[in-house]
Amino acid sequence: MKKADFWAKQYRSHIGKMVGTCYRYVGDWQVAEDLAQDAFLHAIEKSGTYHAWGSFEGWLKKIAVNEALMYLRNQPETVELDEGMAVEEPLADEPQEVKVDFLQEELLGVIRKLPVKQRTVFNLYAVEHWSHKQIAKKLDISIANSKVLLSRARAELQGMLAAMRIKKLRN
């Protein structure tokens, strides 16, 4: 198989997932498509660094995540977060709620509403399974800040999902 044929096949097989991965971080389809294209070009350029120790798809995903993170790092900050800000914990004696299922699109929409830093840390931790140490190093923040951002993201997601749950139960 020619090298060009190989990459054309890989592009068709993986570009959709790469766009989806980028979208989870940036929340804009056009930007996500551009980032996925750039990530794929980087993959072609870096093809010599892939040693088949892990899955090819995982290697491409890692490149897409890094591309999205570089994009976010170069965006102007909308809100600076203070590492010393208090984190509110949910009350342990809150009543249990009725189970309501959410569609994947609804969950992605709620995640997309998170502030950029919270969404980024949430994606890296909950979806990509990175440790707080890895997140802190990659985003150039402290481990404590990574934990605070994740805690805030979870709290905001719980609040938004609770509101959606109430709306669904009323309908």
CATH for 132:
1.10.10.10
In a domain, 91, yes or no: no
Q: Residues 63, 121: one domain?
A: no
Query: Crossing angle for the helix pair 3-26 and 56-73, nearest 10 degrees?
Result: 50
Please tell me the pTM assigned to this model.
0.63
pLDDT value for 133: 95
pLDDT value for 100: 61
- The CATH number assigned to the domain holding 58 equals 1.10.1740.10
In a domain, 111, yes or no: yes
Residue 105 CB: number of other CB atoms within 10 A?
8
Q: Residues 9, 64: one domain?
A: yes
- Domain extent at residue 118: 104-170
Residue 29 parent element (H or E): helix 29-45
Count of domains in the chain? 2
pLDDT value for 124: 93
Q: Residues 69, 110: one domain?
A: no
What's the pLDDT tens digit per position in 18-63? Answer: 999 999 888 888 999 999 999 999 988 988 887 777 788 888 998 9
Q: What is the C-alpha R_g of the chain?
A: 18
In a domain, 78, yes or no: no
What's the pLDDT tens digit per position in 123-165? Answer: 999 988 999 999 999 999 999 999 999 999 999 988 888 888 8
What's the pLDDT tens digit per position in 70-123? Answer: 898 888 754 443 333 333 444 444 444 455 677 888 888 889 899 999 999 999
Q: Token pair of 161, please?
A: 């999902």
In a domain, 17, yes or no: yes
Among candidate residues 54, 73, 92, the one where a domain is terminated? 73
In a domain, 28, yes or no: yes
In a domain, 13, yes or no: yes
pLDDT value for 107: 85
